[in-house]
């Protein structure tokens, strides 16, 4: 199998992140620096990460977290900020976030050491639906949301995909909007509203597919059930 897939199945990180780790020179294949595209024979080859041999995992861990604001979705942070890893139980093992939520965004976050599942859930072609609640400063109408629904340019040459959006609550101070998107560009929802001249002052992811935060307090985490794991693998 390709070496990035091998690393992912060893629980190192997602395939995309494993490509970065390989490019940075952290991986060797049979004693030589690995290259993107190398093939690994799991029965014969020796793969090392920073000098330590790694092997395929047979069992994986899967967690669902209600991420609070003020945490970054990385394993470590060079700025010394709190990371979502600080919220995990001590025996969680070497899991990593599937995708990211911004520092100021809260809500549903999945973590695992199953690199293949992480790859499938984050690859744009799979269009996994993710639902958010956004609070927008000021008033909005359903008509105002039409450019967002149909796809809007958030940066020069960068157009979002069509999405679902509707107003949940509105008054003179703010408007609450529910949005379901199928991609995960950096700060995408905030930029979508900036493109129509509006500011998001609160953002929370409430669903991934049909998984929800039901019964999980802010900052809490739990293991996924077998049924939930199977559901994610069949999305």
What would the pLDDT profile of 182-208 be if each residue is shown by its tens digit?
A: 998 889 999 999 999 999 999 999 999
Average pLDDT estimate for 8-17: 84
Would you tell me which CATH number, out of the four given (3.20.20.70, 3.10.290.10, 3.40.50.720, 3.40.50.300), belongs to the domain 3-54?
Answer: 3.10.290.10
102, 113, 114, 144: the catalytic one is 102
* Contact indicator for 142, 175 with CB cutoff of 8 Å: no
208-231 pLDDT per residue, tens: 999 999 999 999 999 999 999 999
User: Residues of 94-116 as b/e, b for ≥16 C-beta within 10 angstroms?
Assistant: ebbbbbbbbeebbbbbbbbbbbe
Q: Is the pLDDT of residue 98 over 90?
A: yes
> Sign of the C-alpha dihedral, residues 128, 234, 68, 214?
positive
- Rounded to an integer, the average pLDDT of 122-147 is 94
Strand-pair partners of 130? 181, 208
Rounded distance between C-alpha atoms, residue 87 and residue 106, angstroms: 13
Topology (CATH) of 129-208: Alpha-Beta Plaits (3.30.70)
Domain 62-125+214-233 maps to which CATH number in 3.30.70.580, 3.40.1710.10, 3.30.1330.20, 3.40.50.300? 3.30.70.580
Question: Residue ranges per domain, the chain?
Answer: 3-54, 62-125+214-233, 129-208
Q: Give 93's pLDDT tier (boundaries 50, 70, 90).
A: confident
User: Coil, strand or helix: which one is 143?
Assistant: helix
Give yes or no: 91 in active site.
no
Sequence-separated (6 or more) residues with CB below 8 Å from residue 24: none
- Contact call for residues 204 and 105 (beta carbons, < 8 A): yes
d(Cα 232, Cα 128) in Å, to the nearest integer? Answer: 10
Residues 18 and 12: beta-carbon distance below 8 Å: yes
| Domain 129-208 in the same topology as domain 62-125+214-233 | yes
Q: For 38, what's the count of Cα atoms within 13 Å in the CB-facing half-sphere?
A: 23
Find how far residue 148's CA is from the centre of its chain.
21
177 vs 60, which has greater pLDDT?
Answer: 177
The reported pTM is 0.78
For the cut 80, the answer to whether the pLDDT of residue 233 exceeds it is yes
Distance CA 26, CA 221 (A): 31
- Quick one: which H or E segment has residue 179? strand 174-181
CB–CB of 177/196 below 8 Å?
A: no
């Amino acid at each position: 199998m390709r070496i990035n897939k091998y690393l992912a199945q060893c629980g190192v990180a997602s395939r995309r992140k494993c490509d970065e780790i390989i490019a940075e020179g952290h991986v060797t294949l049979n004693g030589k620096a690995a290259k993107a595209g190398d093939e690994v024979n799991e029965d014969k080859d020796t793969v090392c990460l920073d000098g330590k041999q790694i092997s395929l995992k047979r069992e994986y861990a899967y967690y669902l977290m209600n991420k609070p604001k003020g945490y970054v979705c990385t394993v470590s942070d060079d700025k010394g900020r709190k990371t979502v890893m600080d919220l995990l139980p001590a025996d969680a093992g070497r899991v990593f976030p599937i995708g990211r939520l911004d520092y100021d965004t809260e809500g549903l976050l999945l973590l695992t050491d199953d690199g293949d599942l992480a790859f499938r859930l984050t690859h744009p072609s799979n269009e996994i639906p993710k639902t958010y609640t956004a609070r927008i400063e000021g008033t909005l109408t359903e008509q105002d949301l039409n450019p967002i629904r149909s796809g809007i340019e958030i940066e020069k040459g960068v157009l979002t995909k069509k999405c679902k959006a509707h107003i949940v609550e509105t008054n003179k101070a703010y408007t609450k909007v529910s949005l379901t998107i199928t991609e995960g560009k950096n700060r995408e929802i905030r930029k979508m509203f900036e493109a129509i001249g509006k500011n998001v002052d609160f953002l929370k992811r409430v669903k991934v597919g049909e998984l929800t935060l039901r019964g999980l307090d802010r900052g809490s985490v739990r293991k996924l059930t077998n049924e939930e794991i199977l559901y994610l693998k069949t999305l």
